[in-house]
Amino acid sequence: MRSRSPFRQAAAKPVPLDERVSGPGAADGDFAEAVLAGLSGARKAIPSRFLYDARGSELFDEITDLPEYYPTRTEIALLQRYGAEIAAYLPEATALIEFGSGSSRKTAMLLEALRRVSHYVPIDIEASCLEQARSSLIARFPDLAVLPLIADFTDAGTLPEAVADAAKLGFFSGSTIGNLTYAEARRFLRDAAALLGPGARFLVGVDLKKPLDILLPAYNDAKGVTADFNRNLLARINRELGGDFDLSGFEHEAVYNEAEGRIEMHLVSRRAQTVELLGRRFAFAEGERIHTENSHKYTAPEVRRLAAASGWRHAAVWINDDALFSLHLLKLPD
């Protein structure tokens, strides 16, 4: 299993830039190894999953409330507006399996619409998130069996015995799939198919390609919260690895890479400088970058192709009026 996770391979040895930047949610926590490897290459890069420590998760939550950051509120609006319609596609679903569940904020909306779901399996590496989600959901749905899996959502292992015979619905929200390259997303969807099994359904939230005057501000907000979120990676290195990064020496940059169809976050060195951590020195030229996150955007046909290439059939898609965000329902043959 281990070698199948795109994220697990990332830190261990120098690999192409795309692979090193990808993905939230690894369980290994080998921050030191990843940072040393990521700063040693010709093109510096640190896997995006390390953005999400306690402070980073707090800042990300703040991002989701920003006026410029449309994805979260748009996905919630889609779930609200089409919940009943989505549920009509899933009359038999009895087990909900959520990948990278985080705070499970959107889960309640889905459970509200899917009245027959009796078992909920949130998969997340953050045990504290899982505990919080469990208590808030149980308060609202007292009959729901919550069976958390503390795991990297790309490497969840096996599902609890209790849902072995259930009709399964997977849920992967927030366009977290955008952190993955196309190849990694295909591998993730194949692994999810194997985990969920024949006849399963999968509801996936995917951010859409759109004009740059909407896309760029979402990652360059006026309050600078995204910049703080990005720079928190350096603060985390200072905190946890004894680094001496001068945070004001690095500028937040979010650009759209047209060829790859993705937003990229970088930290750009404002001047020539050296940084020390774990007894090693790293030199930065003026303008040199650390690549910190990818956020791939899709068209609806691209999602269809991705699903087909991963063994899933595309059953339905819901898109909001401004064509900002999409919810896709995929299914596996029985």
Considering the complex, state which of residue 226 and residue 232 has its C-beta at the smaller distance from ligand AVJ.
226
CA distance 69 to 316: 25
Q: How far is the CB of 46 from ligand AVJ (least distance, A)?
A: 14
Contacts of 294 (CB under 8 A, 6+ apart): 18, 21, 22, 48, 178, 179, 181, 260, 262, 263, 264, 265
Considering the complex, state which of residue 83 and residue 217 has its C-beta at the smaller distance from ligand AVJ.
217
Question: How many angstroms separate the Cα of 289 from the Cα of each of 23, 31, 43, 293?
Answer: 19, 19, 8, 12
Q: How far is the CB of 166 from ligand AVJ (least distance, A)?
A: 28
Considering the complex, state which of residue 10 and residue 63 has its C-beta at the smaller distance from ligand AVJ.
63
Q: How far is the CB of 226 from ligand AVJ (least distance, A)?
A: 5
Q: How far is the CB of 174 from ligand AVJ (least distance, A)?
A: 5
Considering the complex, state which of residue 28 and residue 221 has its C-beta at the smaller distance from ligand AVJ.
221
Q: How far is the CB of 75 from ligand AVJ (least distance, A)?
A: 10
Q: How far is the CB of 68 from ligand AVJ (least distance, A)?
A: 10
Give me the residues that bind ligand AVJ (CB under 6 A), please: 63, 71, 174-176, 178-179, 219, 226, 293, 295
Q: How far is the CB of 180 from ligand AVJ (least distance, A)?
A: 10
CB closest to ligand AVJ, residue no: 295
Please name the amino acid found at residue 227. A
DSSP 225-265: HHHHHHHHHHHHHHHHH-----GGGEEEEEEEETTTTEEEE
| Buried/exposed code over 203-242 (b: 16+ C-beta within 10 A; e: otherwise) | bbbbbbebeeeebebbbbbeeebbbbbbbbbbbbbbeeee
Contacts of residues 1-9 at CB distance under 8 Å and 24 or more positions apart, as own/partner, are 1/155, 1/157, 2/155, 4/155, 4/187, 4/191, 5/152, 5/154, 5/155, 6/154, 6/180, 6/181, 6/183, 6/184, 6/187, 6/188, 7/47, 7/49, 7/152, 7/154, 7/155, 8/152, 8/155
Considering the complex, state which of residue 107 and residue 114 has its C-beta at the smaller distance from ligand AVJ.
107
Q: How far is the CB of 66 from ligand AVJ (least distance, A)?
A: 9
Considering the complex, state which of residue 23 and residue 170 has its C-beta at the smaller distance from ligand AVJ.
23
Q: How far is the CB of 298 from ligand AVJ (least distance, A)?
A: 12
Q: What is the DSSP letter of 204?
A: E
Considering the complex, state which of residue 24 and residue 243 has its C-beta at the smaller distance from ligand AVJ.
24
Considering the complex, state which of residue 117 and residue 173 has its C-beta at the smaller distance from ligand AVJ.
173
Please name the amino acid found at residue 328. H
CA distance 209 to 198: 31
Give burial (CB, 10 Å; 0-12/13-18/19+) of 158: exposed
Considering the complex, state which of residue 197 and residue 217 has its C-beta at the smaller distance from ligand AVJ.
217
CB 149 within 8 A of CB 162: no
